[in-house]
Structure 1
Amino acid sequence: MNKRSVQHLLLALSLGCMTTACSTTDKAAAGQQAVASTSKEKVSDWPRGVTYEIFVQSFCDSDNDGIGDIKGMTSKLDYLADLGVEAVWLMPIGPSPSYHKYDVTDYYGVHPDYGTLEDYKEFIEEAHERGIKVVMDLVVNHSGVDHPWFQEALRNPNSPYRNYYVWAHKDDPETQKEGKIISGDSGNVNRWHKVANSDSLYYGYFYGGMPDLNFDNPKLRQEIFNVGKFWLEEVGVDGFRLDAARHIFPDDRAEDSHRWWEEFRSEMRKVKDDVYLVGEVWASANEVAPYMQGLPALFNFDIGGAIVNAVQQEDAGMLVENHKKIRNFYKTVNPDYVDATFITNHDQNRIMSEVNGDVNKARMAAALLFTLPGSPYIYYGEEIGMQGKKPDELIREPFIWEEKEEDDCRATWMEPKYNTDETVTPADEQLEDDDSLLNHYRDLIHLRNNSSALTYGELEPVNLNVKGVTAFLRKHGEDTVLVLHNLTGQEKTVNRPAYLEQYDEVLFKTQEVELDENEIELEPYSTVVLQF
């Protein structure tokens, strides 16, 4: 049985094998078969591998209540293993009154809509059997207003929990610095919020429903250490994605934020020495760099924006050169840092919408992501061409597994605007089509997983002086490849400089390519990887 046939078998098993219908043994065997059949030459080693971001509520619904859940996610681990990902990042799963669950009300629980703590432990065990790590969103910049800590702080100003949050009097001049005092949504501009029937204000960077925690309080810091250690030690997660990592302290106290994450990492390593911590620090490179001591993995928002711009403009411009410059700078801060690259995530318009539904440009975005340096993240549904533009709910719509009348896994908690049977080809159909976007992602991921140059290699820009064509070398030890991307809708002819003549063997191609001595004919919207 060839790899593609195994792939078809596994997805069929995955689509029909919900946790209520298949035994754990059956699912584990299928997952092991996927790994064995597609990863014989695998050289990547997570966290340098590919990670898949999941919004649980929209991924897979196992009990037909309309809401995606942990058991549904477990039933799709074979799909993820076959895709080639080595880890999953789960958006928040804890109890919360909101659909997005970033306003957590219990740091030790699982939202009942998603399942139980035992369900989560089973998911982690099943993921590990397939060689997939589990990273969970840990929201510690703030809690929800309904968290017992905050409710107790509201009821009793003398409570020890009062100092778990940041307070001020309504006449305090400090509260006037960032605009007028309001009681509702801050619009990410006004940070101080009124307390009914009180002269007190509390600080909430994002909005009034998310009061910031007070990290000047040693007791609060210890609470957060305890939370992290619980999920690592008692539940078995492999690490955390740290939300709003730059906002632990106000911007004028950035150094305090840096020190906090160093302290947090030190405490987590007491439980799990190889704990993975990836931070959300959406800022310039100079502001990002100091976080790398405490957060050795950080999301690279610059490269995501540059990739989107390159495929929109059909010209990479200085993308490669700038990427190399930033990476070199970061290595001076932490030589072992993990560059968490991505195209777009749950806070941004989806790439398919950014390119107005042009699948060729979406393919090129993926090709750039997986051939440039970094440890790539995929946002769920990106690989099947899901669309979406803000507001946030509309970039988090349900995944489409099969045609609607057959799709007993599709979540229905919201009515989708962008992703329907008319706009997106379901995953099961794409898997049967060698030319689908899904198989394009799969092939690129497996190419990267099996190439030490693409996984670990240094980046060397190559200037071919052909507008719309970007080229670069990736070098790791004796493994070196030449990557060429034609970002345009026109055929392009490039001439290899003399020092590149040795690259004359096609390792990978997305379309037919002609090699004629020093000339290379590139089809529109195509990628070729050459080796010698």
Structure 2
Amino acid sequence: MWYEIFVRAWYDSDGDGIGDLGGVTSKLDYLKSLGVDGIWLMPIHSSPSYHGYDVTDYRAINPQYGTLADFHRLVDAAHARGIRVILDLVVNHTSDQHPWFLAARDPADPHHAWYTWAGPRAALQATSATGGPAWHALGKQHYLGTFTGAMPDLDFDTPAVREAIDDVGRYWLAQGADGFRLDAAQHVYYDFASQKNDPAVLRENLAWWSSFHRAMKQADPDVYLIGEVTREEPRELAPWFGPLDAVFDFPLASQLVASARNERAGALGALLRHIAVSIPAGRDAPFLSNHDQERVMSQLEGNAQHMRMAAAMLLTLPGEPFIYYGEELGMRGRKPDPDLREPMRWHRDPGGAGQSRWKRFTAGDGADVSVDAQQDDANSLLAWYRTLIGWRRELPVLRKGSLSVPVVPSPSLATWELAGAGDDVLVVHNLSHRPQTLKLAGTLAHFSRVRLASVADARIDAGTLRLPAYASVVLQ
């Protein structure tokens, strides 16, 4: 179970109002109590921006977050608790203030070849893969910046670039990192909107990440690499398994939220069947939202029952799920991006000790959306997350099982079977506000016992499963 942390927003250990690495270390016991065994730190490298996705020094830590010694203390403390630490690695582009790019402005400098420059026949009005302008003027030159002009793209056809990025990866593994979340993984070669479904571009991307993966495995055989590949179909994610250990499942994230919101499984069953044949068992990376998307509770218009059902579906699917910080409290957040990354709510009083003050709160959450308010409340959303993560620990098949999806008559039931790890279970969620029944006949007849249930009155009666509103069960 992974947990995404924006360090700036997490916890302030030195009183300057900015979350820092020391703050992450001080809250590891909270994460352990939640059941987390891995954390993803959003960019911690030197950068001119608040978010860090434009790096100026890949080997330096943002001084607002601390020092390399602070990082070592964090890694040691996390490992002592059985928690892995992966870093956001942003290599598709650098900052336009990176020394490499500053040197590259001179066509005679060797670093000029580290970036992509427009030739005489380049279509300077081309649209980038992210929808903005692809080319950006610099005097009489134009350079490629798939995201913005402040983020010039590195040229991975230049051997020195590949060597430099391999060296960066090896460096952080040597410092104790357990792997990397690879930002914009598909955009290393996917630069223009016109290339979206170009198989040659896909091959180039996969070849680079295969090379990087081999280099990292040589440095650390247990390294974990997960890529951000924003695609709409599971079959489009399938080629990335091999070059990477996992890929974020964007199609599933959208569908889980939609199914919870609509109180109907909808297209979920068909999507899960595609996932079952496209993604290796136990290697999917499901999630509900991240730092680029409106928070789940906002997508669900503040409906607490829908939030619980979205969490229940997420945490009973196989693979390595990711939680975005504060999701377990029901934190809200809508665009623009800074409002999706507001300070973690530790205290009922938003001015409490250690609270990050990097920006003011805009979501309108009350005192009940805080760790202090929910920590000891058995009926809180935080307690529900702990329960679900506990289910995953209790039944390894929920993490590693092979997925199959039976056809069930009720559109309000989200149902799947997981087999393997010496077990076979049927997961059933009643997404609706009305009781539902499921006849356990045919291929489902061998499921005769409620192993785990979210409510006491979920039961099997004369071969029929009876589920109260918004109830979840695991049957054996």
The reply to whether TM is greater than 0.5 is: yes
Distance 2:465 2:310 in 1: 21
Which of 473, 486, 500 is matched with 2:430 structurally?
486
Deviations 1:60-107 (A, max 9, x none): 111121111000110110011111111001100011111110001000
Aligned-partner residue type, residue 171 of structure 2 = F
CA drift of 1:498 comes to 5.0
| Aligned 8 A contact 2:282 2:400 in 1 | no
Are residue 239 (structure 1) and residue 239 (structure 2) matched? no
Unaligned 5+ residue runs, structure 1? 1-49, 180-185
**Contact 1:386/1:419 (8 A) holds in 2:** no
SS in 1 for 2:61: coil
1:475 Cα deviation after fit:
1.3
Aligned to 1:267: 215
Q: 2:282, 2:319 within 8 Å by CA — same for their partners in 1? A: no
- The 5-angstrom pairing of residues 436-447 of structure 1 reads 436-447=380-391
Distance in 2, matches of 1:322 and 1:387, equals 27
Match of 2:333 in 1: 388
- TM-superposition CA deviations, 1:484-514 (whole Å, max 9, x none): 1110111223322155344333222222313
Find out whether 1:55 has 2:44 as its counterpart. Answer: no
Aligned residue among 82, 104, 116 for 1:166: 116
CA distance, structure 2, for counterparts of residue 427 and residue 400 of structure 1: 7
Counterpart CA distance in 2 for 1:337 and 1:498 is 27
Mapped pair 1:355 → 2:300: yes
Structure 2 segments unaligned to the other structure (5+ residues): none
Give the 3-state SS of the residue equivalent to 1:324 in structure 2: helix
- Within the candidate set 112, 124, 130, 1:175 is matched to 124
1:452-486 C-alpha deviation (Å, 9 max, x unpaired): 22111112223331231122221114312221111
What is the one-letter code of the residue matched to 1:382? Answer: E
Superposed displacement of residue 404, structure 1: 1.5
Count of paired positions: 466
Local SS of the residue matching 2:92? coil
Counterpart CA distance in 2 for 1:249 and 1:417 is: 37
Equivalent residue for 1:182?
Answer: none
For residues 431 and 477 of structure 1, do their structure 2 counterparts lie closer, same or farther at Cα, with a shift above 3 Å needed? Answer: same
The residue type equivalent to 1:490 in the other structure is: R
Q: 1:514 to 1:326 in 2, by over 3 A?
A: closer
Contact in 1 for aligned 2:283/2:318 (Cα 8 Å): no
Which structure is higher in helix share?
1
| Distance apart, 1:330 and its partner CA | 3.2
Letter in 2 for 1:389: R
Percent sequence identity over matched residues?
41
In structure 2, the partner of 1:38 is none
Q: Given residue 416 of structure 1, which amino acid in structure 2 is its aligned partner?
A: F
Q: Aligned with 2:85: secondary structure?
A: strand
Determine the C-alpha separation between the residues in 2 that align with 1:100 and 1:347.
Answer: 11
CA contact (8 A) 2:282 2:399 kept: no
For 1:426 and 1:70, locate their aligned partners in 2 and report how far apart those are by CA, in whole Å: 21
Maintained 8 Å contact 2:55/2:90: yes
The alignment's C-alpha RMSD in Å is: 1.8
1:8-39 C-alpha deviation (Å, 9 max, x unpaired): xxxxxxxxxxxxxxxxxxxxxxxxxxxxxxxx
**Alpha-carbon shift at residue 149 of structure 1 (Å):** 0.8
Q: CA deviation at 1:293?
A: 2.3
Residue in 2 aligned with 1:191? 134
Which residue is equivalent to 1:309?
258
State the distance in 2 between where 1:470 and 1:270 align: 42
Q: Cα 1:432–1:265, aligned 2, differ >3 Å: closer, same or farther? A: same
Q: 1:373 Cα deviation (Å)?
A: 2.0
Kept in 2, the 8 Å contact 1:304–1:342? The answer is: yes
List per-residue Cα deviations over 1:396-442 (Å, max 9, x = no partner): 111111122672121111011115435x4211221211111001001
Letter in structure 2 aligned against 1:354: Q
TM-score by length of structure 2 reads 0.94
Instruction: Say if 1:471 and 1:482, in contact at 8 Å, map to a contact too.
Output: yes
